[in-house]
Structure 1
Amino acid sequence: MKTKVGNDKMFNFFVYFFAILMIFIIVYPLWFIIIASFSDSTAVANGEIWLLPKKIQFDAYRELFKQSLIWSGYKNTIIYTAAGTLFQLIVNVTAGYAMSRKDFLGKKFWTIYFTIPMFISGGLIPTYLTVKQFGLVDNRLAMVLPFAVSCYNIIVIRTFFKSNIPDSLWEAAQMDGCSTFRYFIQIVLPLSKAILAVIGLWSAVGIWNSWFDAMIYLTREELQPLQLVLRRLLIINESLIKQGSGDLAARLQNLSDKMKYAAILVSTLPIMCLYPFLQKYFNQGVMVGSIKE
């Protein structure tokens, strides 16, 4: 018995040790970015920053927020994220619900139809030509409409509805004279808060971090999201550094490095604030996505 208790304690020790180690590996880079963005640029360049900031300064943030495009980028990103998330929820949730119904006509065909694009895409050039033909180039809708359908999300939503919404609810609703639309709005959606939160979070994070689509379809600066604006500012800083020399180039390089840390924090902080409130739903969604038929 004593040997068994000793083995359990040893096992628990290693479990907690590796858990703490993994937490440190994940959290420390984020913490370093925060303290480096507020520290003296020389101390950061010399590798003197480890756990606490040194000579707290805000010059990187001042230089970053001097750019008027930062504020328009923030506004555009918020608009794209809010509108895109709402539209993706409407499109994907309704498609997933339809595919979960037993009486859905051609269910096997549509399942294959939505599964194939998960492995094969049309490519960048055909997609661009399609978006251009619809007149969405240099249009805010280019960040909302063309990529709203997510085949993976539809499959996850379908699995959730099939495994969590019993058929007896639909039968009871029919006996009370409930229509399909009313049943979906008043019964199915209130019981699906977990999957709505998960898909909403996935969509919001994807749109918030998206810069490649904006680089391809939005050439006007006033329409570009925050991620693309920050990318452009950092490229401009790098070009200015190459034009300088001596101490000036060194100071510009140190400031540019700090601005990179500040840009990472500015661009990720708002979306990271959503995670504590949606974490439990996020875990449920991951489990739903792992269910196989």
Structure 2
Amino acid sequence: MKQRVKEKKEVPQDKAVSIFFNTVGILILIVEAYPLIYVLSASFSSSDAISMGKVYLWPVEFSMEGYKMLVQNSQILNGFKNSIIYMGLGVLLNMSLTMLLAFPLSRKELPGRNLITVFVAVTMYVSGGLIPTFLLVSKLELVDTLWGLILPTAISTTNMIIMRTYFNSTIPEELREAAFLDGCSYTKYFLRIVIPLSAPILAVIALYYAVDSWNTYFNALIYLRSTEKANLQLVLRDILLANQVSSGDGSYAENSKLGVTIKYAVIVVSCVPMLIVYPFVQRYFTKGVMIGSIKG
């Protein structure tokens, strides 16, 4: 006897809950999206319109002055160049060290694997602190150098654990056995089999490192001294400090020749590199994040 499957009717309470969460989600989206829309609109508005508070959703008195001044300012261009260099070299070092640590820890035949993992995991909760780290960097004569900004954050324990979990739970053990039967060493197995099969997680971790490096502000403020080596975030900080809002009628105090709109233009342009990179790793992003979170 065939069983008839009746469509489940939506209970009024469920409908009310759905409407409630949809409404809350829309409100959260508006709250988070408005600052982005405002910054984008302000970057294409005149300084007077911004100072008088006329900009809300759309550009007022359309102007490209901020972007023109951005291109003409050598300090900002130098900051862009430095940030790209720091990010490129940093991600290369980050990924190399993370893979070289994650792969051995994913192998069950490694002696003391669990103990090493515990020691590595402890660093997520206990660290030397800012002062000992700065003293160490200073003793190594890395202050105001490229490596002083890259080496202290050369590897992330969280990213390493995610990658190790991927190696351990996603790549079949039969592949290793077959490779070793064909005379493959650990090095060849890692380079020719593990890395090609790990494209999703490698793309995700690389994006994590790239975003973190691009947005680096505090470490750059601590370890960098010369203006020539400042990254974009430090340059943006100087621009924001040079255009503080006065306590009077809300107008901007022009302490530099950069103008008011240029700080919004810098914020918009500083987001462009990540917006360009993300579409290329988007197809791997969801898959890699889900694998790292579910198969823990």
| TM-score, structure 1 as length reference | 0.87
Aligned counterpart for 1:286 among listed residues 279, 286, 289 = 289
The residue correspondences of 1:40-79 to structure 2 (distance < 5 A) are: 40-79=46-85
Q: Please give the per-residue CA displacement for 1:229-288, whole angstroms capped at 9, x wherever unaligned.
A: 1212322344xx87xx999x75739x8553332221122222122223223322233323
Deviation at 1:67, TM superposition (A): 2.6
* Unpaired segments ≥5 residues, structure 1: none
Superposed counterparts of 1:10-89, under 5 Å: 17-89=23-95
Deviation at 1:24, TM superposition (A): 3.4
Residue 261 of structure 1 corresponds to 264
CA distance in 2, matches of 1:226, 1:129: 25
**Residue-by-residue CA offset, 1:147-205 (whole Å, 9 max, x unaligned):** 11211111111111111011111100010000100000000000000111011000000
Match of 1:130 in 2: 136
The one-letter amino acid paired with 2:276 is: C
| Aligned pairs for 1:1-293 within 5 A | 4=9, 17-238=23-244, 250=252, 252=254, 257-291=260-294, 293=296
Q: Residues 243 and 253 of structure 2 are in contact (CA less than 8 Å); yes or no, is this contact kept in structure 1? A: no
- The 8 Å contact of residues 51 and 252 in structure 2, kept in 1 or not, is answered as no
Partners in 2 of 1:107 and 1:3 — Cα distance? 51
Which residue identity lines up with residue 142 of structure 1 in the other structure?
A: G
**Given that residues 142 and 217 in structure 1 are in contact (C-alpha distance below 8 angstroms), is that contact kept between their aligned partners in structure 2?**
yes
Any conservation in 1 of the 2:169–2:295 contact (CA below 8 Å)?
no
More deviation in 76-85 or 256-265? 256-265
Q: Deviations over 1:70-98 (max 9, x none)?
A: 11111111011011001100000121111
Secondary structure of 1:204 counterpart: helix
Given that residues 200 and 287 in structure 2 are in contact (C-alpha distance below 8 angstroms), is that contact kept between their aligned partners in structure 1?
yes
CA RMSD of aligned residues (A): 2.8
Higher mean C-alpha displacement, 271-280 vs 204-213: 271-280
Distance 1:235 1:10 in 2: 48
* TM-score, normalised with respect to structure 2: 0.86
Displacement of 1:15 in angstroms is 6.0
Paired positions, count = 287
Indicate how the Cα distance of structure 1 residues 288 and 3 shifts in structure 2: closer, same or farther if over 3 A, else same. closer
Tell me how far apart the structure 1 counterparts of residues 292 and 52 of structure 2 sit (CA, whole Å).
46
